[in-house]
Amino acid sequence: MSKRGIETLVGLFVLLGILALAFLALKAANLASFGQRDGYMLQARFDNIGGLKVRAPVRSAGVVVGRVTSIVLDPKTFQGVVTMEIDKGLQFPRDTSAKILTAGLLGDQYIGLEAGGDDKNLAPGDTITQTQSAVVLENLIGRLLFDKAADAGASSKPAAPAASKK
């Protein structure tokens, strides 16, 4: 093989490597789909959204059924209002609940939808009323440490002297 042919093959190999890295970077950032999804919008209100981000997946039974499109703060209720786009072919009952969950122990957060049993479905633009906010790991650790310190403080107090009987 000539020197020019080898250089061409090396160039193609490097180009394929760069394209593969770009693809992996887009997948890791949840940006792999560039086109518009065909779906409908739903909203949910949470007291604490934790580390939820725009473009985070919306899952039901572990299957991605949509994406988070926006997160804003309601200035009247001081709740996080999450807008999500759900795939057009899927309809969820009106009593569906939404939870902010974490993938793994310290992974990214996503919205999990649990379908209810109502006969009527959510319409485009409806708000999911049954929600559960994100569990913040720092709050759990702080509460655990506070409880342990309170228990240790209570057990270190001397017992009151018993009254003597005459």
Q: To 5 degrees, how large is the angle CA 56–CA 84–CA 93?
A: 120
Is there a domain that residue 89 lies in?
yes
Longest Cα–Cα distance of the chain, Å, equals: 113
| Residue 24 included in any domain | no
Provide the domain limits for residue 50: 38-139
Domain contains 2: no
Residue 6 lies in a domain: no
Phi, psi of 82 (to 5 degrees): -105, 125
pLDDT at residue 139 in the model = 78
Residue by residue, pLDDT tens for the chain (166 residues) are: 788 889 999 999 999 999 999 988 877 766 655 555 678 999 999 999 988 999 999 999 999 999 999 999 999 999 999 999 999 989 999 999 999 998 877 778 899 999 988 899 999 999 999 998 887 777 778 888 888 888 887 776 665 565 555 5
The phi and psi torsions of 152 (rounded to 5 degrees) equal -65, -40
Characterize the bridge pairing of strands 127-128 and 39-46. Answer: parallel
Q: Give the per-residue pLDDT at 148.
A: 84
- CB 44, CB 82: distance < 8 Å: yes
Q: Is residue 160 part of a domain?
A: no
Total number of domains constituting the chain: 1
pLDDT for the residue 136: 74
For residue 92, being part of any structural domain is answered with yes
Adjacent-strand bridge partners of 7: none
pTM over 0.75: no
**Cβ-based neighbour number of residue 59 at 10 Å:** 16
| 3-state DSSP assignment of residue 12 | helix
In a domain, 122, yes or no: yes
Q: Is 125 inside a domain boundary?
A: yes
